Amino acid sequence: MPIDLYSHSRTGLALSRLGFGGAPLGNLNRRLDDTEAVAAVTAAIESGITLLDTSPLYGQGLSAARIGTALRRTARDRVVLSTKVGRLLSPPRRTGGPAGSGRASYVDALPFTPRFDYSYDGAMRSLEQSLLLLGTDHVDIALIHDVDGWTHGAEALDGRFAEAMDGAYRALEQLRAEGVVKAIGVGLNEADTAARFARAGDLDAVLLAGRYSLLEQGALDDFLPLAAEKGIAVLMGGVFNSGILATGAVEGATYNYRPAPPEILERTARIEAVCRAHGVPLAVAAGRFPLGHPAVASVVLGMVSPGEVARNVAAVDTPVPPALWGDLVAEGLLRPDAPVPG
């Protein structure tokens, strides 16, 4: 069955409700086989996934290079390509500032060092680097990456926010006006910072990672209503909270890139028990849940093989009984005001 599309009225982009997240293609935490990684992208496109998301951070350009290889094997107009600005890649000997790799760990990445640069010129250069890595003459969505306390620390956030709005945002706004990109926005890890950007600028899209899931619905308080009001397409990443909502409450489960604490393990086990009672895998419910909100255009999942693509496509098409959501609410495991998929 074809993957449903979300037609974004502001930009005319047709976004598949399941998006392809490119972070794992940068050898996130483990080395991937090149052939299989490229085959995963090709399988995603052939399955009807239109949204492909990457960043210079992911493997210091390795993710973008692998996606670019797959793009050369298909028509460019079949995909909506999203990348990010805010980091520049340099050979280590030429690095002029602090590295900007954040929390992620990439194995056997390309031999470049990322450094933060949210200036106007830095955004222009970053996008040019991405075009070269991707082997294309344009991207559809350009997002300012990781301007949040999660990445920089709360004490540095105001300065980074001002730098991004005065620099990278102006650059992307100009590129949108010139038709070089169709949509601009931010990609980050905090719902309150996403709302701050949405109020400060004219955004088309926001990629929000990990902040709207079966374990966290705080984005309902401010950001998601604001996105719906402004017509911002929300691309929801991190819907498994870095692992636990995919694996369940098993030994070694991770939550927000750290070992899951006891209270999260207990809550996840209770959520999984409700899902099991309805015959629905936890990962299926976790992947489907964000799509119930009218502002959420796509759930962006990392995929590293054709088999994983096939499983995720099948999961998106798996029906979830309405009673499951009702039982989660009744058990105090889901906010009553959270919209759920029909």
Question: Which residues are known catalytic residues?
Answer: 53, 58, 84
Q: What DSSP character marks residue 336? A: T
Is there a contact between 106 and 60 (Cβ–Cβ < 8 Å)?
A: yes
β-strands 233-237, 80-85 pairing: unpaired
Element (H, E) at 248: none
Distances (CA, A) of 67 to 31, 199, 298, 302, 330: 16, 33, 19, 13, 43
Distance from C-alpha of 165 to C-alpha of 177, rounded to nearest angstrom: 16
Residue 97: DSSP 8-state = S
CB count within 10 Å of CB 93 equals 6
Structure tokens at 98: 């602090």
φ/ψ of 61, rounded to 5, equals 100, -10
DSSP per-residue string spanning 120-180: HHHHHHHHHHHHHHHT-S--SEEEEE--SHHHH-HHHHHHHHHHHHHTHHHHHHHHHHTTS
CA distance 269 to 204: 37
Is there a contact between 1 and 33 (Cβ–Cβ < 8 Å)? no
CA atoms within 13 A on the CB side of 28: 21
In contact, 179 and 160? CB cutoff 8 Å: no
Question: Which residue, 48, 63, 130, is CA-closest to 298?
Answer: 48
CA nearest neighbour of 105 among 22, 54, 29, 30: 29
